[in-house]
Structure 1
Amino acid sequence: MLRNVEIKAKVRDLGDTVSKAKKLSNSEGTWIKQDDIFFRIPQGRGRLKLRTFEDRSAELIFYDRPDSDGPKLSKYDKCSVPNGSQMSSVLSFALGVEGSVKKKRQLFMVGQTRVHIDYVEKLGNFMELEVVLSEDQTLDEGKLIAQSLMADLGVRKEDLVSGTYMDLLLK
């Protein structure tokens, strides 16, 4: 499985956060519209979602990570799906749907880290950092990179969020 170190945080000042991300990445970022459908799977087994993009392409993503609010290890795997609506229908019938999340994401690359600034329908503005680990990198190395970027982007401990956007919507 692939691995990354992740954090999720509430964004207090969208303009400031975007400005800092642009400076760190030396880019304007890339806008991505994503609709995620979460499927029911046995508890304790991670999460399974189908992510559909604006062009109707999709990815099936399974991931497992703790629901804690600091930098944490996420193990994941994903595959491209040629027909997202057909896959959604099959998985909905087989597993049932937990819920869905619609978001607009601005993606910035800072070294090996994906910086996502998300507008999530019904929730507001958030930021995610995903430090993509190479096979030989340790969790501690990934956490140090995440903590450094958190400082550079002005993320405070009280901004950190545990769980997923789906969890927040279900509350």
Structure 2
Amino acid sequence: MPKNVEIKASVPDLPRLLKLAQDLSLKDATVLVQKDIFYKCHNGRLKLRSVKSVEKNHSELIFYERPDQSGPKLSQFHIFPVENADAMDLILGSSIGRRGVVAKTRHLFMVGQTRVHVDQVEGIGDFMELEVMLDKSQTPEDGAVIAQDLMEKLCISPSNLITKAYVDLLAEKQQQ
């Protein structure tokens, strides 16, 4: 199962973060419009992601396991291409039930082996995710060091770290 080390934080100054990420990446962002449909499952998280970009549109089924904790955390995942997202949603929604839908615009920057996501999430605001893709020789601790370094370079304060997935934040907001 592929692994990465993740950090997720709220973003108080979106234009500043976009500029810092672009400066570190040395490239413009790839802009992705994503819709994630989360399903009820007993362990981990399961989502059907539809992605629209200038380059292509595609869908994928993603299963991942990641603890809800602040700071760097190990995530293990599987990604499967999906030909017919509507049919897959019908099957999964009918059989195990939908948990929620997250719609976002994502600015994706690559900084070394790290995917820097700057997300504008409908209904809850602006966020940043770091995904340090680990190779087979790297430990989660190695990934945490890389993530912490990037966090500092992107001026992400530890007070802005969040523990929950976007779908959890949306569910909490809807209950208020």
- Give the TM bin, normalised by the shorter chain: over 0.9
Whole-Å separation in 2 of the counterparts to 1:74 and 1:28: 26
TM-score normalised to structure 2 length:
0.94
* Aligned twin of 2:26: 26
Are 2:50 and 1:52 equivalent residues in the alignment? yes
Preserved CA contact (<8 Å) 1:57 1:83: no
Change (3 A) 1:48 1:154: same
Whichever residue aligns with residue 48 of structure 2, its letter is L
Could you tell me which runs of 5 or more consecutive residues in structure 1 were left unpaired when the two chains were aligned: none
* Aligned twin of 1:79: 80
Whichever residue aligns with residue 38 of structure 2, its letter is F
Whichever residue aligns with residue 45 of structure 2, its letter is R
- After the TM superposition, list the runs of 4 or more consecutive aligned residues in structure 1 that deviate by more than 6 angstroms: none
Whole-Å separation in 2 of the counterparts to 1:67 and 1:80: 26
In structure 2, the residue corresponding to 1:57 is in which secondary structure?
Answer: strand
* Aligned twin of 1:2: 2
- Alpha-carbon deviation of 1:15? 1.1
Are 2:129 and 1:128 equivalent residues in the alignment? yes
- Alpha-carbon deviation of 1:53? 1.6
- Alpha-carbon deviation of 1:34? 0.3
Preserved CA contact (<8 Å) 1:60 1:80: yes
- Alpha-carbon deviation of 1:56? 5.2
Give aligned pairs, total: 169
Whichever residue aligns with residue 81 of structure 2, its letter is S
Change (3 A) 1:26 1:56: closer
Report % sequence identity. 48
- Alpha-carbon deviation of 1:136? 1.4
Whichever residue aligns with residue 110 of structure 1, its letter is V
Whole-Å separation in 2 of the counterparts to 1:152 and 1:82: 39
- Please give the residue correspondences for 1:12-161 in structure 2 after superposition, counting only pairs within 5 Å: 12-42=12-42, 45-54=43-52, 57-161=58-162
Could you tell me which runs of 5 or more consecutive residues in structure 2 were left unpaired when the two chains were aligned: none
In structure 2, the residue corresponding to 1:7 is in which secondary structure?
Answer: strand
- Alpha-carbon deviation of 1:28? 1.0
Preserved CA contact (<8 Å) 1:56 1:84: no
* Aligned twin of 1:165: 166
TM-score normalised to structure 1 length:
0.97
